[in-house]
Structures are given as structure tokens and as C-alpha cells.
Chains A and B, each alone.
Chain A
Amino acid sequence: MTGATAARGGGAEPAGGPTGEKDHGIHLLQQMLRIRRFEERCAELYSHSLIRGFLHLDIGEEACAVGVIDTLSPDDAVVATYREHGHALARGISMRAAMAELEGKVEGCSRGRGGSMHLFDAATRFYGGNAIVGGGLPIAVGLALADHLQGRRVVTACFFGDGAVAEGEFHESMNLAALWHLPVLFCCENNLYAMGTALDRSESETDLSLKAASYRVPSWEVDGMDVLAVEDAARSAVETVRAGGGPHFLELRTYRFRAHSMYDPDRYRDKAEIEQWKQRDPIPLLAERLTASGVLTDGDLERIEGEVGAEVDDAVAFAEAGTYEATEDLERFVTSEPVRAGEAS
């Protein structure tokens, strides 16, 4: 065990010690704040019906996306879930393209066809939000298989929640990735609830890293509220995976501060439990550490908040100035060549 991370299953211990570099610490803080403020604005826009459908907020879990994705190179790939705004922003999808997508505009990263759960951007190798629990795991295995077959030394980071562990696709994917020794970093964001069902009512074995280890996949339990711990574990795992070490598994222990989705009245969790986790909010946690170590000084936080706020305002303005797709394009993009209307339907 090193710090907030426990290893299991034969993997090398991740290198301990936070990176002390000033710019880097501030960068992590800024990334988490970008996600937080973006999503807070999303909730507001949802209440004004500018964002519709399902909206799953990542608030409270930002350290997972930021800590892992920060360790990836531009050639690496990311597969995410329906709670993926944070991952998309951390990966480099612009806030403008993400917000326009949420508002269903052509300028969105998925042309308004996807919405909140289907942000997609091949240019940043972000292969999608995905609204099927567990559905992204086999696809991540395939991306890694292609990288293996084509001789690229890159990593596919695949994010999913604790709920996905109950799906068959989790088990098929862990087995196949391990069997074929593929470069996948499985990142399980364990927020203790599969939608509204607590982990111990959803899993006969609540130790999720043990499940991964049973497939001979080296596994680590990581404090998912501590972005530096996440980053340390991820960096070490990514290096090992990239070097040909086969798939690895990070169980990121985290918590969502908001309900599962905007439709969820959140009646299954104790208010006290939520409050207790909020004491470990990853953003103040990092800010306090950076302040204590002298990295974050007077005015820094206000400056960052100002920059982030301006970026969010700009993204909202961009989205609201965006255009809706022409209705005659309803059946575009179903297949590669436009099939004549009525021909195949």
C-alpha cells in the first residue's frame, strides 16, 4: 500500500508522491473546476429546458476523470459512459462543442445527434459517451485490439461505474482483454450506487478490484476523491500498460454529490452520508493542499474561477447562437451512403 492506493493481483506498486510542480497542480484544479462549473450550468439550463432528455452529472467525481485522463497521451483512446461531460472536457473536447451538443445544435461535437450521453470526438480519440451500462467495455477491448494489431503502443482508458460490474459485458471484456493481453486501462468509478441501488444490494462480492484480479488483471483501489492519488495510480498503470503489461484495473472510490440523473429524487441515500462525502470534495481537497504547500496563493483561486466562469459563459453563448439541423436531414448518417428515402425503412 502506498498512501491512498492499495494494489492487488500482482501489479507493480504505483509510484508514490504527488507531483509538486506548481503549474501542474493548478492545471488539475482548473480542470476539475471547469467540469464542476460547466455541470452546474448544465443543471440550470436543464431547469430552463434548454437541455432536455437525460442529464447525468459528474459533480463530486471530477478527480477520477481528471486524474486519469491527465496521464494519457494524445494518441491514447478514451471510452466513457453517459456520465461523461467531465471526461470529454478533460480529454480536450471544447466546452463550446460540448455545450452545443447538450443543446442539440449542429455545432455540437456529435452534431446534436447524440446529446448529453453521446459526446464523441475521434480527433481527440474520445470514442463516446455511451448510454448502455457496460456497453463501452467490449468496444474498448476492440480499440486496444486494433492498436495491438497495428503496432501502436497506446493505451485505451475505459471508464465505467460500479453498476457495470454486474453486467455480462464487464466479465466478457475483462476476460478477453486479459486473455489477449491488450492495452486497456479499466477505470471503475465506484460511487457506491448502481443508479439507486447500493453496492451491497447489487454485488455479492463488494470488493470490485477482487473481481478484476480474478481475471488476472492487476488491480488497484484508489481514493477517487484525491486527484493526486488518482493521477499517481493512473500514471503508473498507464506506463505499465503501454509497456506491454496487459490490461490493468483501477477501482476509483468516489461519490456523486447529485442524484443519478435529473429525474432521480435521490431518496435512497442518507443526507448525512452525502454530507460526509462532501467533506471530501475533490476540489477544496486539492485547493487546500495546494494552498498549504504554497502553490496556490492569494488571488489564484479567484483568477481561476474567473477564467472558468468566462469559459462557461462563452460556451453557453456559443451553444445558444448555434443552429438546429435542417429537418430534412433526419435520416442522414444512418448509413455511409444516403439510402434513398423509404428504400430501407
Chain B
Amino acid sequence: MTTDDPIHTLSEAVNQAMDIAMAEDPDVFALGEDIEDPIGGVMKGTKGLSTKYGRERVRNTPISEQAIVGAAIGASLVGMRPIAEVMLMDFFAVAMDQVANHAAKLRYMSGGRTNVPITIRTSVGGGRQFGAQHSQSLEAWMMHIPGLKVAVPSTPHDAKGLLYSCIFDDDPCIFMETMSLLFTRGPVPPGRFGIPLGVADVKRAGDDVTVVTWGWQVPEALAAAETLADEGISVEVVDLRTLVPLDRDAILRSVAKTTRAVVVHAATQFAGPGAEIASLVGHELFGRLSAPVERLGAAYSPVPYAAELESLHYPERKRIAATIRAMA
């Protein structure tokens, strides 16, 4: 990518989006564990914000995930735009009553008589030997609950634009920050911009095989595509950026062209998001595919600590390349 935009980490991009949102709208505030300075968030997403905006608007909470999310919901019912941080996605299990039974349903249960404009930022582990309770990619769980929107940026640029859009969206948005990408760098336009939710981005154009992916697996897919280009296989990488809304058109447009698709994700493969996408492609493009849709997701096991096992748990560039090679 050629751009004159300044280079930042994904974490800095997240910070910028919150900073801009808080500066322009007094109804935006943040709450979560250890988000105040000097810590500024365990992953540094809120660094400097409590110093700039004060501890009323950037407030530390006890380790009480249900209360964090529930308080965000309550404040959102009167028009505030809270940004709750659930430190690790695994901890959603603790907060899930508020997420699934309240945030996701209040609009529908009230016949559309309220918005629930909250954003829940969360870090997603994996690949860092954090073990079974600090490493889960639970996007399929979120997708399965009607009412939630789910964003998973793969670049600093997308992180800033998507988070800004989530904060000002009128529905509950789950914003997943992939830990292994948090300190990767890329160009980030200064100032305010949003990326519409539900619009995928073709991160690499190609003709032979489509990789549908998001988050952590985007750079893995791009690396696989680079390797395969040397072998004469042209790979298109579609970064969904949001899973809900799902950009069906972008998926189908790409696969209609390449006639081959592989869905790659860090979520468990069994009953994972790839199943939905494979079903969509199979149904809509039946008879036009040159190969069955392949899926590459995490193994059917809790995430292991041992490095040798963890490296096998998630799909990575070599397996992605091997899968594509076999179907091209």
C-alpha cells in the first residue's frame, strides 16, 4: 500500500478512534478494568485518555464483567455511547448474560423503542501461549445472537475506522482486537473517519482462489498468497472486517469470479463462522464451483499452552497455502 499517512500500531489506531470520539461527543465515555493511566488498558488501548478526559469519562472498574457491560447498557438507554472494555474475549463468558440477554435483545423486546448504542472492546489472544482461558476467538458465539454487530479489524487503518463507526452505531457492537496484531504497524489517516459496518475489503486481488477471512488470519492469508503467486497461483483475499453485518455480496462476487473458496479463521472450525459462509457460497453458487468450499479453523480442543501444540491449533500461512495448492 502506498500512502503518505502516518504509520501507527493497531493499538494506537484504536486509541485515536476513542480520542476523536470522546473529543467530539461528550456522551462518549469508557469503562473497564485497568483502563485509567498509568496503565491505560492492559493492551494500552486507552493510554493517555484518562489523563486527557478525566477519570469520570475514562473510569476504572472492579473486576465485574457483568456490571461493566450492564452499566454500559443502562447508560446507553438514555443516549450515551459507552465504550466498555472486556479485557479478554474469554471473559465474555462472565458477562454473557448482559451481552446476550440484554444488550442484544432490548431493541427487539421493546418493539424498537430503544437503541442500545454500546461498544464492547475486547482483546483476542492466540499464538502467544496464553493457554485455554486467555486465547479464544469467540466471534461465532457473538454472531449467533441476533442483535449484536461484530467487527474484527486486521489493520490499523481498519481498526480506527471501524471502531469510530461502532462507537457511533446505534446497536451493540463487539469490537475484537486481535492481540497478535495489536502492535503491527500500518498507515492510519489522521483525523476522523469511519468505515461502514458490513463492507468487506479485498486485501489482495486474484483470479484462482478466494480466501475469505478476517482479523488475525488476514496477514496469514496474504503471506500464503505471496508464496503461491511465485508458484503461479493467483489468490484473492477478502477481509470481511465485520461478521455482522456480513457482506454476502463481496463474498459471492469474489467466489463467482474464482470459483474456489477457502474460509480461514481462528475460531473453532466445528460450527464456526466458516460453516455459515461455506453454506452461503455452496447454496448461491451451486454448480458454478470448481471445488468444494474448504474451511480452516481452530482445532476442536481448548487452546493448549504447549507451543508445539498451539502452533498446530490455529491455521497459519503454510496450512493455508497447502490447502489452496490442493484445490487450485
Contacts and interface: CB of A to CB of B under 8 A. Distances in A.
Nearest to B105: A118
Most chain A CB inside 10 Å of its own CB: which residue of B61, B108, B169, B198: B108
Interface in A88-117: 106, 108-114
20 contacts: A79-B74, A110-B109, A112-B111, A113-B110, A114-B110, A128-B110, A138-B67, A138-B71, A138-B98, A139-B77, A143-B74, A146-B80, A147-B78, A169-B66, A172-B62, A172-B66, A176-B64, A333-B107, A335-B149, A339-B198
A176 B71 contact: yes
A229 B311 CA distance: 66
A326 interface: no
A149 B66 contact: no
A334 B62 contact: no
B142 to A, nearest CB: 11
Given A120-B114, A139-B77, 4 more contacts: A111-B112, A113-B110, A150-B27, A335-B245
A149 B112 contact: no
Given A118-B110, A121-B113, A333-B112, A175 B67 contact: yes
Interface of A: 77, 79, 106, 108-114, 118, 120-122, 127-128, 130-132, 135, 137-147, 149-150, 156, 168-169, 172-173, 175-176, 179-180, 332-336, 339, 342-345
A184 B35 CA distance: 25
B114 to A, nearest CB: 6
Given A169-B97, A343-B248, A344-B245, A142 B70 contact: yes
Contacts of B98: 135, 138-139
Given A146-B78, A149-B80, A175 B64 contact: yes
A156 B70 CA distance: 14
Interface string B302-327: 00000000000000000000000000
Given A113-B108, A139-B70, A142-B70, A149 B97 contact: no
Contact of A145 (B64, B74, B111): B74
B73 interface: yes
Q: How large is the interface on B (under 10, 10 to 19, 20 to 34, 35 or more residues)?
A: 35 or more
Given A332-B112, A343-B248, A135 B71 contact: no
A290 B149 CA distance: 55
A157 to B, nearest CB: 13
B191 to A, nearest CB: 25
B106 A128 contact: yes
Given A143-B74, A146-B75, A336 B109 contact: no
B238 to A, nearest CB: 16
Contact of A168 (B66, B110, B112): B66
- 5 nearest A-B residue pairs (beta carbon): A142-B74, A138-B70, A111-B111, A142-B71, A172-B67
